[in-house]
Structure 1
Amino acid sequence: MRDIKQSFQIAFYNFRLWKKNPRVIMTFALAFVLCLMLSDKAVSLARSYGTNMQILEAFVWTFGDGNSIMISSLLLILLFADMPFISQGTPYYLYRTKRSLWVWGQVIYVVLATVLYTSFLLAVSCIICAPLSFPGNMWSETGALLGYSGVGVKIALPASVKTMEMSYPYQCAAVIFLLTTLYSLVIASVMLLFNLCKSQFMGVISVFVLNLYGLLLSPQIFMTLFQLPQTMEYKANLAVGWLSPLNHATYYMHNFGYDYLPRIWMSTGMFGGILIIILLLICKMAHRYEFHFLQLNE
């Protein structure tokens, strides 16, 4: 129990460093701008047609798309740019606790910060569409317009008909929140791992490589790269749906009972397994990590 308390103390010490931190302020400011830009299309459409929106629809249509998830995860590079979070308090905690507890404190901090970041994206998306929204657990006229009329494709905000037919807004938003958080945690964990075993530069590169891998395995780019005919589109969707972590984080790229894409529980299980493996590697690398502290003369 004492070890758990010390790990959380280390994590909360990192949060105290957020106060007036320009890097943290910039991260959340850019996240706000990102939500504003991505949600504005749906809000503008609702205003132009005089229709309403469900309070969570802006989040569902925005972060139910893999590209939006990828862009939002890239902002974590800025938020976690100081990995592995070595500060003035690090020597104190290393002296008073075990190195393993310090590592667990960093892991807890990454998890809590990522959940807070995703919660911020959800809150901002809801606030943006709040003047036009209702809280009921049913899809709005705007959602139906986006999904069934083809308007969504024209404004580059295609609402998945499969999403609307197989779920309700609150349940759908909860799953999207979970998938987005898990993908972001994988990104942050990979970054922490490479920071420990290589360098901060390699940690940043690892995030870009992982996101680039997911981007190249989008159905359209996959078919273009391999010059596949349109008759192979379904098989291409299946292949990238299973191979790409980014597609595992995309809600509509899942099996809802009538195809062979991964189910939600499979994707969450896959992310959980990846996180456990990365966590074990982080613990191993942390024991080999060499700390360098400079004593400054006052």
Structure 2
Amino acid sequence: MVEIFLARLHELMVVLYALSVLLYFIDFLHSNRKANSIAFWLLAFVWILQTIFLILYMLKTGRFPVLTIFEGLYFYAWVLITLSLVINRLLRVDFTVFFTNVLGFLIMVIHTFAPFQFESRVMSEQLVSELLLIHITMAILSYGAFSLSFVFSLLYLIQYDLLKQKKWGNRLLRIADLTKLENMSYVLNVIGVPMLILALILGIQWAFIKLPNMNWFDTKIIGSFVVLSVYSFNLYLRVRKDIHGKTIALWNVGSFLIVLINFFLFGRLSSFHFWYS
């Protein structure tokens, strides 16, 4: 019973950490102080839980937890979170904070879902299954965000064409204005990109545990990283190059076509995803 409770508590920390990374990503792009503040306090809560576990473990073992890989990973994750909180409060280097937290999330996932940390084989198998479930859920949610982003971009192009041709009517009035459509498409991409990053981290961890001989050049894996790269470049064009309007809408529509290819075509060609589906 205690083992199950601790496993759930560690999973809660992973979820809270994922939310924190998502909010730090929003702050990274837009210097959003509200998002930064919420992310900081979520991460602070995770740090408090980790610190409690760390102290209890030291009291139980009577030594500093760095003598095994398992212990080292946990302490490493704790150090990264501590440094992230300190940097966020004292140095205000948002770029460093975001990527430090992505690395910290990766280490925490490796530690949390490592099957050898539990004496019960059943508990270990259940935890690995839940890791897969979280990976799939986050991947689908990211694809859902990209799908809605595509819809808004498509509506943008339709509205743009109606305005250009001066076709006034009910259809024009029922579609939102161009600025709102573009902003909604962008916001959904801002949500989708970090969620896909986290989903890939979780998926890679699951593969290391369950498929040690897996082909890392599998079409689905390559396709997922292509999708991530395309949408990351989309955000780069929007934020750094200040590209707006029809150009970014067309790029977003094209990006979604890659999502469809990856989801339907590469999913069928993939021996990896066919194995667990």
Query: Could you state the TM-score of these two structures normalised by the residue count of structure 2?
Result: 0.35
Higher helix proportion:
2
Query: Could you state the TM-score of these two structures normalised by the residue count of structure 1?
Result: 0.33
Q: Which has the higher contact order (CA 8 A, sep 6+)?
A: 1
